[in-house]
Amino acid sequence: MARGNGMLKRKNRMALRVAALLSLALAPGAAFAQPPEVVQIANPLAQRLETRLKTGRDFGDWTAYRNKRTGKGQYSLAATTAVGPDGTPAMLLISCVESQPAVSVIFDGEGKIMPGLTRIELQLDNHPASGNLAAPLMGRDAVGIFDVRAFLLVQDMTKSRTMEVSLPGQEHSWRFGVEGLVDAIEYMQDQCRLSYQINIVQSELAQVQMQLRLKGYDMPATGLMDDQMKSATRAFQKKFGLPETGRLDQRTYDLMLHVINE
């Protein structure tokens, strides 16, 4: 679990389905010995997740884990923690179960199942406050945002340094650190649809490729993320000192757009 406020170190398509898959995938785990400065969460769901995360990798405020399965039962996780002003600890979780993303908040509460859709207030440091509807997870004191809304939220999170989360109906709030999330997502990418590589439409990618060709870059113009484009992406990343993954992750795509607009 990571040290300090909002940090973990060493080390839920519908809400029920996601949580059920997680419950099947994760073995029950009791609390384990931790340094006193580490955030302690008594919520059983968070504790089960921690049994996996403590064998994961640290990226700034985040710890990420991915299992080795393919297809059914495949999942990856990234999480960070914080303690609210009222002393309530919480985990902010990004999970992908069979490639479907979710953003969840799991906290120490009164041990009750959340009632239906719950309003959740989000405030990013570069984005105005927004209201979102979160579904209850199959666990107590836990809510989640799923699929496209989760994808869009994560993209906003990667451009921020902090995210404040509040549950008006529960009178809880937390401030989570977001440093290292881009790298955590990159680590999760083989199993998680959180990258522009999956979501850019072919016509848009073809336009980007054409504009880069006009700038002198050796790029195909097919709009496909095929082997040729992966090789070209790797060369582009090398030129600008990015990790040479060949994947069209957010940092790489943003830099391509910047080069086009220079």
Q: What does the pLDDT look like over 140-183, one tens digit per residue?
A: 899 998 876 787 788 788 888 899 999 887 889 999 999 999 89
pLDDT at 30 over 90: no
pLDDT at 1: 47
- Place 196 in a pLDDT band, splitting at 50, 70 and 90: low
Q: Which of 122-131, 133-142, 249-258 has the lowest mean pLDDT?
A: 122-131
- Place 11 in a pLDDT band, splitting at 50, 70 and 90: very low
Q: What does the pLDDT look like over 31-74, one tens digit per residue?
A: 333 333 468 899 999 999 999 998 999 999 999 998 877 667 78
Q: Which residues contact 216 (CB under 8 A, 6 or more apart)?
A: none
Task: Output 59 or 245, whichever has higher pLDDT.
Answer: 59
Q: Which residues contact 99 (CB under 8 A, 6 or more apart)?
A: 74, 191, 192, 193
* 40-64: burial string, b at 16+ Cβ within 10 Å, e else: ebebbbbbbbbbbbbebbbbbbbbb
pLDDT at 135 over 60: yes
pLDDT at 257 over 60: yes
pLDDT at 155: 78
Q: Residue 8 in contact with residue 62, Cβ under 8 Å?
A: yes
Length of the chain: 262
3-state secondary structure of 11: coil
Task: Output 228 or 9, whichever has higher pLDDT.
Answer: 228
pLDDT at 10: 36
pLDDT at 6 over 80: no
pLDDT at 184 over 80: yes
Measure the CA–CA gap between 99 and 247, rounded to whole angstroms. Answer: 16
pLDDT at 201: 66
User: What type of residue is 104?
Assistant: S
Measure the CA–CA gap between 142 and 148, rounded to whole angstroms. Answer: 20
Q: What does the pLDDT look like over 87-130, one tens digit per residue?
A: 999 999 999 887 778 999 999 988 888 777 888 888 888 666 56
Domains of the chain by start residue, with CATH: 15-194 (no CATH), 197-260 (1.10.101.10)
Q: Which residues pair with 120 in a beta bridge?
A: 132
Question: What average pLDDT score do residues 3-31 get?
Answer: 39
3-state secondary structure of 165: strand
Q: Taking the model in full, what pTM does it have?
A: 0.65
Task: Output 187 or 79, whichever has higher pLDDT.
Answer: 79
User: What type of residue is 129?
Assistant: A
pLDDT at 28 over 50: no
